[in-house]
Structure 1
């Protein structure tokens, strides 16, 4: 069953952004996050094992909605889809990538930073976008400003979002969810402290928008 971008954006208030360095960590990490209530997982294509991690999590973690992040060109787009990614996240967007993504049935969450980029995507029928890098790009004040003239767009702010400012982002009317990595930092993953990751995920899952 194909997932919709609405499901991606609204299933959980926080979307874990996962950098998986060791393939053996993929499934226990994903299970820890899902057990905590965070079912939508973005696996970034920043490591050699990322595509295999997507395959394993899809096969072995029931309930997970598995997406691929750091999609920067057509090659990574197709590789992620072939690995089983149910949605695609990009840090920015090019016309070439956009054309290729819209030819597939896989939802795209494209990264934007300016009103002009938002308007260009609106022209192509896209209303759900990633605001990245959120804090560096002006954060909450910037999203409020964009929301004035462009209220039809829903954002997932990512980049610099943490447990302290996440509730402020989620309180905005044009924010459906936030992306972050604080639930599963590298030290906890390396230590295999899945219980603490589940605890952090459970706290994040209780955040409201």
Structure 2
């Protein structure tokens, strides 16, 4: 069985999704899978997140699904119950990290400084989210961090079609997180063909 790190490295771009209507989750998952990005990070920024994850998991058991913007232990519980493969948090909260470790759930917490990387390493973490990537110094900051620390990164926040290859060219970057191929207005409007085109565009960029 492949590790999360191996799966992320193969997929290269993780669509970060804020879905308001869980009934649209299965169709969205289908669009992602059929157009070359068989993965989703469904953020807990909406009330329907856990149900959307559960719907995706039931329809596509093999899909790689993460829960994003997880801020509390209660949300960790919700995410696990919904069937996620991993949890992502925007910052580094030792309480949330410990709780995920207690529940045997992989967490990829957000860091953007040497001190935070070291705190995460102290807790045994080897894969971290670099967030917010662009405002935190972008590719140059990430290269500086990867030159010093033996960890892998998933940069998210300001990653777009113009800079995604620059991030992916850094050996320690497993995958990038992004929202540009899953805009809320297209999901809300059920514009699946337009979404499919955006997802395919990303898949083509990273081939």
Task: Structure 2: state its 5+ residue gaps.
Answer: none
Aligned residue pairs total 207
In the TM superposition, 1:90-109 aligns within 5 A as 90-109=89-108
Name the SS for the 1:148 alignment partner: helix
Residue of 165, 177, 180 corresponding to 1:179? 177
Do the aligned partners of 2:5 and 2:174 also contact (CA within 8 Å) in 1?
Answer: no
CA displacement, residues 88-124 of structure 1 (integer Å, 9 cap, x when unaligned): 0011122211111111222111111111111111122
Equivalent position of 2:9 in the other structure: 10
1:8 to partner: Cα distance: 4.3
Distance (whole Å) between structure 1 residues aligned to residue 11 and residue 112 of structure 2 = 23
2:152 equivalent to 1:154: yes
1:14 to partner: Cα distance: 0.4
- Farther off after superposition, 59-68 or 129-138: 59-68
Name the SS for the 2:148 alignment partner: coil
1:190 to partner: Cα distance: 2.2
TM-score normalized with structure 1 length: 0.93
1:183 to partner: Cα distance: 0.9
Equivalent position of 1:87 in the other structure: 86
Distance (whole Å) between structure 1 residues aligned to residue 3 and residue 64 of structure 2 = 11
Q: Give the alignment's Cα RMSD to 1 decimal.
A: 1.6
Distance (whole Å) between structure 2 residues aligned to residue 75 and residue 62 of structure 1 = 24
TM-score normalized with structure 2 length: 0.94
Name the SS for the 2:55 alignment partner: helix
Equivalent position of 1:53 in the other structure: 52
**Runs of 4+ more than 4 Å apart:** none
Do the aligned partners of 2:155 and 2:173 also contact (CA within 8 Å) in 1?
Answer: yes
Name the SS for the 1:11 alignment partner: helix
Do the aligned partners of 1:72 and 1:93 also contact (CA within 8 Å) in 2?
Answer: no
Equivalent position of 1:194 in the other structure: 192
